[in-house]
Structure 1
Amino acid sequence: MWSPLEYACHVRDVCRIFRGRLEMMLREDDPVFPNWDQDEAAVEDAYNAQDPETVGRQFADEAQATAAAFDAVKSGEWDRTGRRGDGKDFTISSFARYFLHDIEHHLKDAEPARR
């Protein structure tokens, strides 16, 4: 289990990763997303040692930028596709739902850490 700070770092990075993948789906035909190992990122980026105030600002910035990127998707683009390296395929529409599910999941994961 991660600390609240580590979850904040992770969700900040999830926003950035998903936004980058969304941009790939809009720019390329059926791109394959580069692999991202979230546990490796937590260690390499020393989530547990980051400054909470800085992370809070970064979290807000990344969340706003990602929301704006999804808001900017045009009606004819929601069926564009992309794939993870394991073969799981998405449309932008299903990718947006997966993103929201992932964020909601992490909020629940972090709940016991807040007690």
Structure 2
Amino acid sequence: MDDLCAECGFRYDLTDAPAAAEDIRRLAGEVATVLRTPGHRLAERRAPELWSPLEYGCHLRDVFLVQRERVLQARRDNGFTCVTMGRDIRVEHEGYAEQDPADVARQLTDAALLFGNVLDRLGEDWDNEMVYSWPEPHRASLRWVAVHTVHEARHHRHDIRGQLGESAS
């Protein structure tokens, strides 16, 4: 996998893993602030192939919850194979576009706190691994999972800001 995301400028650096919990909490807070801002048409898709800002917020919430469970399982069962989270079908199955933005903002920050707590407590388990399903099945350390989740948060904050016509940096 390339270590630089051409879309958002994120560079994967596994030495950043110990700071991931704080980065995730901060980025979740930034997205939650957008979801609480009156006047935005948060459920509106700007193009059919793009999720709405609200849908991205729901996705990010679910990413934090799924990653939390994956990390906890990797601590119990080093090397397990995780299953896909079904990201695209969740949009419909969970009715992302119909959810209340204020509820999603609260749930997003709570999910970031829960996941951050797990990362903060990894101790000697940072090098535990799982077989991760994205972009293709591969062995991934918990360091990579933490850094990848920061990328998810930063990338989707970028997506949301771009759709709302805000600075996407």
SS of residue paired to 2:78: coil
Q: Which residue in the other structure is 1:112 paired with? A: 162
- Structure 2 residues without counterparts, runs of 5 or longer: 1-49
CA offset at residue 98 of structure 1? 1.0
SS in 1 for 2:140: strand
TM-superposed deviation, 1:2: 1.4
Counterpart residue number, 1:10: 59
1:1-115 maps to which residues of 2 (within 5 A)? 1-74=50-123, 76-85=124-133, 86-115=136-165
Contact 1:11 1:59 in 2 (8 A): yes
The runs of at least 4 consecutive aligned structure 1 residues that moved more than 6 Å come to none
Higher helix proportion: 1
Aligned 8 A contact 1:2 1:113 in 2: no
TM-score (normalised: structure 1): 0.92
How many residue pairs end up in the alignment?
114
Question: Could you tell me which amino acid in structure 1 is paired with residue 151 of structure 2?
Answer: H
Q: CA RMSD in A?
A: 1.2
Tell me, yes or no, if the aligned pair for 1:83 and 1:90 is still in contact at 8 Å: yes
| TM-score between the two structures when normalised by the length of structure 2 | 0.64
Give the letter aligned to residue 22 of structure 1. Answer: V
Partner deviation per Cα, 1:49-86 (whole Å, 9 max, x = no partner)? 00111111111110111111100111x21111101244
Which residues of structure 1 form unaligned runs of 5+? none
Asked which structure has the greater RCO (Cα within 8 Å, sep 6+), the reply is 1
- The structural deviation recorded for 1:102 is 1.4
Q: Partner of 1:2: helix, strand, or coil?
A: coil
